[in-house]
Structure 1
Amino acid sequence: GFAGTCYAHYYGPDNRPFLPRVWNAGSRHDRIDFRWDAILRDGVYNYSGYDDLVEDDLAAGIDLVGILWATPAALRKPGCIVTAGAEPAERPAGWYAPQVGALALSPTLSDQGACPPAGLYNSWSPTNFNGNHWAEFVYKTALRYRGQVRAWEIWNEVEWSFFWLGTEAEYAQLLKVAYQAIKLADPTAPVLFAGLHFWADPTYFERVLDIINDDPAAAANNYFFDVMSIHLYSRPSTVYDITLHIRQRMRQYVSDHPIWLTETGVPVYDGPFPGVHSEYAAREVEAASYLIQSYANARAAGIERYHWFRVHDDSESMGAEHFGLWHTETYTRPAYTAYQVATSYLLSPTMVTHWTYSNGVRRVTFWGTPRGKVSVLWSNLPQQATYTESAILSSATLVDQRGGTQTLTPVDGLYTVTLPPATATRKDSNPVEYIIGGEPYLLVEADSTPPPPVTMVSPVAATTYSDTIMVSWTPSSDASGIWGYDVIVKVGAAPWTQWRSFGQSGLATTVPYTDVVHGQTYCFRVRAWDRAGNRVEWPQTTRACTTIDLDREVRLDVNAVMGNPGSGPLTPLTNVSLRFVDGNLADAVPPTVGGSWHWNVTLMAGDYALWATPAGWWSPPPGWLPLRLPITVPPGPTTLTLSYPQLVLPAHRHSYWLPIAMRP
């Protein structure tokens, strides 16, 4: 599943009220800390508390992402000094969602587990950890929860000194050791890069990736991580923009990796349990809008996992920041219902498209969902906006962030939606800056039935005697109309590959395929897309295959070569050079000299020429002129016979001389 949360396991054994609630909301993943300093006590590994937690989450149908971090005090790197303190209740200015390039200030305090571990560079094995305490912790933990904890994240927000007091090189080594240990213990578990705070130091992850790229073993080990993990808050536009930036920069150093949004949210400052009104805080109803907008933008950006931070407020204090879907289990915020709306309607799309219009409207369309075609719409500007969309069905459902619905009927083929203005502003911004769009609506056209399978018409012959294969199929029909057709091709034993997308093919049902090689076999499959984005699955048995044969058996019979003097009888010639050349003027058949020529050979289809050159050419008249006879050999299954009872060379009667002026 796409949707997850953070810290749904509270409060403790026999008291985890949030697990069934997040499952009912559509969450299937929980992200929790596996603190090393909580597991290793007095030199002894004790997992009893975590065993209960893992068992309870799995029993509730929730998979786990475990964050491995927090060095025990006794195992800190020598010289690492921690000025310990609690995570600050309110972050410094610009902390959550500044514009790109703005600075964020780091607090001076650190978590007591923020030091790099000692022995991090020691070589090790599962039977001899050789003082590499980090390798021992990661290996033992991953092995203990093999098949139970589905993914492991290596530390948290290492750009921020509250969580990490090491260098970029030390984090690269920490990640490498963890990756190797986890893959030995549980090869199927994805390993996540530490969740990027990003704003604390926007190029920190690049510096780490640059170090990893220089490691000779990195490429063979997926650069020591399987997933890039990111944290983005309070401004839904950054969930799209910054994700694309991180992906683009990541590709400069390592291969492309999936991206998971393992923390996102916005603190709230109103309601019966308000938190502090920090710079990027919002009202409860605006936080619900943020949830749907960030969820849609995450899909648009290609993010593969979405985790809301967090399930409940981790502090009862009104002076702290409150992110929770709940305050406690007795008070549910509007964002919980918005989460249900997102997971109910914005699931399993065949594709996602998006656009921001000049009037400030943002549209993210989920095509081919189990609900049909769903467009998420909101205004980014502080004024009401109107959006129109062409209808594909006779009616649609409009869904608000509270789950309320109404039926829309198109007028002149168009749906019209009025969108509320943006109201969430950054505290004390001048000029006023709107960080979250207005309340979103979901426009749902409920065609979720894919078109019927496509029947191939051609090619039907086992062999194609042409350099072009005409690929044809019968047209499909569908309630919302056919959008186009995908065509894939299999060349020989190679895998199936995309040849034409539905956007390229449109409604055409016959397309020429010309990228052929003699002797190769080509197979084709076709599927239809409808205008709601539904597509039929690729047919597993229905396909059309053909083998290209561009050879042709050719028989040449030149019975006689004669000279034509212009008057009188033809003169037999017996000493003529005879050649059959291809388009590059190379001999396609061994040449001969004589007065006749007979052969039977296999040639590739193409353009050729028969040359007959009299003996002694070039010579002054009298004599005979050469003959150049163009011949096209088309492909085909039968023998092509070229029969010439007589090749007649014309007489050579005149020579033409050009005057040459000589200068002294």
Structure 2
Amino acid sequence: MAVIALTCLGALLASPGAAVAGNDGFAGTAYTFYPLPPGAPTRPLLPLMHTAGSRWERLDFPWSQLEPAPGQWSWMAQDALVQDVRQAGLDILGILLWTPTWAAEGACNLYSYQQLAELRRPPLSLRFQTLPSPQSVTLAPCATRPPRGLSEAWDDWSEADGDPANYWGRFAYELAIRYRGQIRHWEVWNEPDLTWFWSGSPAEYARLLQVAYQAIKSACPECRVLFGGVAFYANPDFYRQAFTAIANDPTAPQHNYFFDALGLHLYSRPSSIVDVTNFVRADMRQRLSVERPIWLTETGVPVWDDFSVHPSASPYIWSARQAEAASFVLQSFANARLMGIERYIFFRAHDDWCDKNGNGSCADDGPYAGMHEMYGLVRDNLSARPAYAAYQLATQYLISPTWVSYWNYTGGGRRVSFWGTLRGKVSVLWNTQPTPTTVVYPLVVPTATLIAQDGYAQVITPDAGGNYALLLPGATANNGLSNADYIIGGRTYLLIEHDADSPIAQLLEVTPTGVVTFTVRWAGADATSGVWRYDVQHRAPPESAWTAWLTRTPATAAVLRAPQPGARCFRVRAWDRTGQLSDWTPAQCATPQVSLQLTVSAVFGDQNRNGIQDQDETTVASWLRLRDAQGLEVVSPTLGSQWGVSLTLPLGDYRLEAWPQEGAWLPALREIGLWSTTGGWNEAIALLPKQGEVFIPLAQR
């Protein structure tokens, strides 16, 4: 077996500044709006991140700045910011946060400059972002406190009734209605499970979310509201307790449990995206009995080895080298899509490095000078890090999959495959262990393109056995809980298998074999990679919703047992071996048949209305008709007082009608339900007299 070494690949396919072609809007970046240099009129990060494939900007809407005093609004700077971001082609996820001092409830958390600086100085056991809003160099001392009046109705904005106004509800409403049409996604607070962002309780946060949800939906019904980005590891009970508080509100179900999606913040370890997403979804189901989409509203890893920015830097817990950070981008992106994460927002576009004056100290400009860690896809001078090229690859190749699957190899190799993308089947491969490992990958198409995380590529061909054997370098990022804790996998690669042909599917047979059973056969073809699997759906005609029956099945025939008797329609589509999908076939419908022996022993005038033909009650010649549920005759009518006919009919409801020729009698209708494969009906039909009075000769008996 020939092993392909991945240490050096060929041509460079992607480079910083090369715009990404094709984009599904999955990925974004945080704090892309910064003017650079600070105070400049331009925002150069916006086009740079758009070129990288970012289509979202996550930014603060600080209440303390937008309403510095009750009813006094300051919108001008925020309006300009929103306009600039939207004109750059980015959607906005707006964060509602920071309580103004005038609106705060209870004692405020006052930190000294030195305490704030210590909170943010590496080495850190957790990841900290800039504490205040990036639009300001001040943070109100009460910014983390719950607002006054939070327990009032969301739209109680007056104190004339003798109780506090719900100023938070008013702020959320004013914000949503002002930017309706420009912003459709709002996140309620940032990391409320960390006390330096939210010093209230989980129940108070749940109330904050409830009020914001109702206010925003009232102002903008089409807007979506996110449960504020959860940092998770520092206080995993916080969101669970908030879920419980929401579940205890009897109005929660009618308000969608007060959030449309949940934001998660997961850093430094790509595998945590799999683990924590599973935890949070399980908690939603257990505590709320619902499941909501999850957004990764912050993810990233700080780099420690960029000596051009920080000449005296050294490694610390949860940090990575620049090349390892590039690996993190692809691995976290792949795991996010594998887990069905709805949006992926990288923290952050640039460093906003704290040593603004370049004197080697981050302490001399106060605690709000910038970040004490280097997270940026680019540096503050706009030069790209390796993570930028990796982000471009992710947003160019790992988009619009029809399905995402994974495989963990013995020896530490991991593969996450994106089926049916615009460029075919794209597999992300990396090694989770420090020892190099060889992974074997089966042939799908005759040749494939292998791209390294820095954009260098080569065309590869399989060996004689029809496999690719790839030697994956070992992991090196061991700044975890110990030197043996490798938080990021090794150098990462994309294996691209392109199939220009789409598969074709054909539905061959739909045959009822019982009242609820159908035999179905299908086939497909694909000229390049071949047909891999099929999806088959069914529904009851005429317009009920399609129900998935078989998903990615290799079978070409099966028997369905329908949930109820009657007609059933089917359709099928094919997958090829790169994940491309055919169109659904036209629906084919079939109805089980029933053999009916219909016997009308007599049609008689039922003078005494007892339903029995007495000795003096005579037969009445009538037109006898049998109609289906649509009112159509299923057999030629007959005139007489008796009828016997053998029929084969579709399952369903029918109506037997007797229309007397004599005017003294009312017509009779009988409903016949044919819901088994064989049926018989043998009865006499009693015709009631038209007159309300009893027939005179009968009354004289």
Confirm or deny that 1:259 pairs with 2:294. yes
Pairwise CA distance, 1:79 = 3.0
Structure 2 CA distance for partners of 1:277 and 1:396, relative to 1, 3 Å:
same
Structure 2 CA distance for partners of 1:430 and 1:128, relative to 1, 3 Å:
closer
Q: Which residue of 2 aligns with 1:455?
A: 506
Pairwise CA distance, 1:258 = 0.2
Q: Which residue of 2 aligns with 1:315?
A: 353
Structure 2 CA distance for partners of 1:276 and 1:310, relative to 1, 3 Å:
farther
**Pairing partner for 1:89 from 105, 114, 120:** 120
Per-residue CA deviation, residues 472-505 of structure 1 (Å, 9 max, x unaligned), is: 33432331110121111011342111011222xx
Structure 2 CA distance for partners of 1:516 and 1:157, relative to 1, 3 Å:
closer
Q: Distance in 2 between matches of 1:70 and 1:207?
A: 22
Confirm or deny that 1:533 pairs with 2:571. no
Amino acid at match of 2:150: L
**Pairing partner for 2:54 from 21, 27, 35:** 27
Pairwise CA distance, 1:150 = 2.2
Q: Which residue of 2 aligns with 1:370?
A: 422
Per-residue CA deviation, residues 233-265 of structure 1 (Å, 9 max, x unaligned), is: 011111111111111122111210000000011
Q: Distance in 1 between matches of 2:179 and 2:548?
A: 40
Pairwise CA distance, 1:358 = 2.1
User: Quick one: higher RCO (CA 8 Å, sep 6+), 1 or 2?
Assistant: 2
Q: Distance in 2 between matches of 1:13 and 1:553?
A: 90
Instruction: Assess if the C-alpha contact under 8 Å between 1:111 and 1:162 holds in 2.
Output: no
Q: Distance in 2 between matches of 1:220 and 1:501?
A: 33
* Residues 507-546 of structure 1 aligned to structure 2 (within 5 Å): 507-508=555-556, 510-515=557-562, 517-518=564-565, 520-539=566-585, 542-546=586-590
* Residues 636-651 of structure 1 aligned to structure 2 (within 5 Å): none
Instruction: Assess if the C-alpha contact under 8 Å between 2:100 and 2:140 holds in 1.
Output: no
* Residues 20-99 of structure 1 aligned to structure 2 (within 5 Å): 20-43=47-70, 44-83=72-111, 85=113, 86=116, 88-90=119-121, 93-96=124-127
Moved more, 366-375 or 62-71: 366-375
Q: Which residue of 2 aligns with 1:645?
A: none
Task: Classify the secondary structure of the residue corresponding to 2:256.
Answer: helix
Instruction: Assess if the C-alpha contact under 8 Å between 1:465 and 1:550 holds in 2.
Output: no
Pairwise CA distance, 1:434 = 1.3
Confirm or deny that 1:220 pairs with 2:265. no
Q: Distance in 1 between matches of 2:314 and 2:120?
A: 8
Structure 2 CA distance for partners of 1:517 and 1:209, relative to 1, 3 Å:
closer
* Residues 296-375 of structure 1 aligned to structure 2 (within 5 Å): 296-317=334-355, 320-375=372-427
Q: Distance in 2 between matches of 1:368 and 1:278?
A: 40
Q: Which residue of 2 aligns with 1:244?
A: 278
Structure 1 alignment gaps of length 5 or more: 98-108, 558-597, 607-632, 642-664
Q: Which residue of 2 aligns with 1:610?
A: none
Q: Distance in 1 between matches of 2:591 and 2:430?
A: 53
Pairwise CA distance, 1:51 = 0.4
Structure 2 alignment gaps of length 5 or more: 1-24, 129-138, 363-371, 602-642, 652-674, 683-701
**Pairing partner for 2:518 from 469, 473, 476:** 469
Structure 2 CA distance for partners of 1:128 and 1:636, relative to 1, 3 Å:
same
**Pairing partner for 1:404 from 450, 456, 461:** 456
Q: Distance in 1 between matches of 2:112 and 2:258?
A: 30
* Residues 174-185 of structure 1 aligned to structure 2 (within 5 Å): 174-185=208-219
Q: Which residue of 2 aligns with 1:582?
A: none
Task: Classify the secondary structure of the residue corresponding to 1:291.
Answer: helix
Instruction: Assess if the C-alpha contact under 8 Å between 2:154 and 2:215 holds in 1.
Output: no
Pairwise CA distance, 1:431 = 4.6
Amino acid at match of 2:30: C
* Residues 148-187 of structure 1 aligned to structure 2 (within 5 Å): 148-187=182-221
Instruction: Assess if the C-alpha contact under 8 Å between 1:369 and 1:448 holds in 2.
Output: no
* Residues 577-656 of structure 1 aligned to structure 2 (within 5 Å): 635=677
Pairwise CA distance, 1:157 = 0.7
Task: Classify the secondary structure of the residue corresponding to 1:257.
Answer: coil
**Pairing partner for 1:548 from 586, 592, 607:** 592
Pairwise CA distance, 1:288 = 0.6
Instruction: Assess if the C-alpha contact under 8 Å between 2:108 and 2:141 holds in 1.
Output: no
Pairwise CA distance, 1:115 = 1.0
Task: Classify the secondary structure of the residue corresponding to 1:436.
Answer: coil
Task: Classify the secondary structure of the residue corresponding to 1:94.
Answer: coil
Instruction: Assess if the C-alpha contact under 8 Å between 1:150 and 1:190 holds in 2.
Output: yes
Q: Which residue of 2 aligns with 1:295?
A: 333
Instruction: Assess if the C-alpha contact under 8 Å between 1:276 and 1:322 holds in 2.
Output: no
Instruction: Assess if the C-alpha contact under 8 Å between 1:488 and 1:499 holds in 2.
Output: yes
Amino acid at match of 1:117: P
Q: Distance in 2 between matches of 1:410 and 1:339?
A: 28
**Pairing partner for 2:471 from 412, 418, 439:** 418
Q: Which residue of 2 aligns with 1:502?
A: 552
Confirm or deny that 1:273 pairs with 2:309. yes
Instruction: Assess if the C-alpha contact under 8 Å between 1:456 and 1:472 holds in 2.
Output: yes
Aligned Cα RMSD in Å?
A: 2.9
Amino acid at match of 2:341: I
Structure 2 CA distance for partners of 1:124 and 1:350, relative to 1, 3 Å:
closer
**Pairing partner for 1:4 from 24, 28, 32:** 28
Q: Distance in 1 between matches of 2:28 and 2:423?
A: 20
Query: What is the aligned residue count?
Result: 553
Amino acid at match of 2:169: A
Structure 2 CA distance for partners of 1:481 and 1:524, relative to 1, 3 Å:
same
Amino acid at match of 1:149: I
Pairwise CA distance, 1:355 = 2.2
Q: Distance in 2 between matches of 1:468 and 1:382?
A: 55
Q: Distance in 2 between matches of 1:63 and 1:475?
A: 40
Structure 2 CA distance for partners of 1:449 and 1:262, relative to 1, 3 Å:
farther
Instruction: Assess if the C-alpha contact under 8 Å between 2:146 and 2:199 holds in 1.
Output: yes
Structure 2 CA distance for partners of 1:292 and 1:286, relative to 1, 3 Å:
same
Q: Distance in 1 between matches of 2:174 and 2:398?
A: 38
Task: Classify the secondary structure of the residue corresponding to 1:362.
Answer: strand
Moved more, 467-476 or 407-416: 467-476
TM-score with structure 1 length normalisation? 0.78
Structure 2 CA distance for partners of 1:111 and 1:470, relative to 1, 3 Å:
farther
Structure 2 CA distance for partners of 1:634 and 1:234, relative to 1, 3 Å:
closer
**Pairing partner for 2:155 from 125, 128, 137:** 125
Q: Distance in 2 between matches of 1:148 and 1:315?
A: 30
Q: Distance in 1 between matches of 2:120 and 2:473?
A: 32
Q: Percent identity?
A: 41
Q: Distance in 2 between matches of 1:488 and 1:298?
A: 28
Amino acid at match of 1:513: L
Task: Classify the secondary structure of the residue corresponding to 1:21.
Answer: helix
Amino acid at match of 1:257: R
Q: Distance in 2 between matches of 1:121 and 1:408?
A: 64
Task: Classify the secondary structure of the residue corresponding to 2:281.
Answer: helix
Q: Distance in 1 between matches of 2:534 and 2:482?
A: 51
Pairwise CA distance, 1:417 = 1.1
Per-residue CA deviation, residues 629-660 of structure 1 (Å, 9 max, x unaligned), is: xxxx99489x999xxxxxxxxxxxxxxxxxxx
**Pairing partner for 1:438 from 464, 482, 490:** 490
Instruction: Assess if the C-alpha contact under 8 Å between 1:448 and 1:532 holds in 2.
Output: no
Q: Distance in 2 between matches of 1:301 and 1:330?
A: 32
Structure 2 CA distance for partners of 1:635 and 1:166, relative to 1, 3 Å:
closer
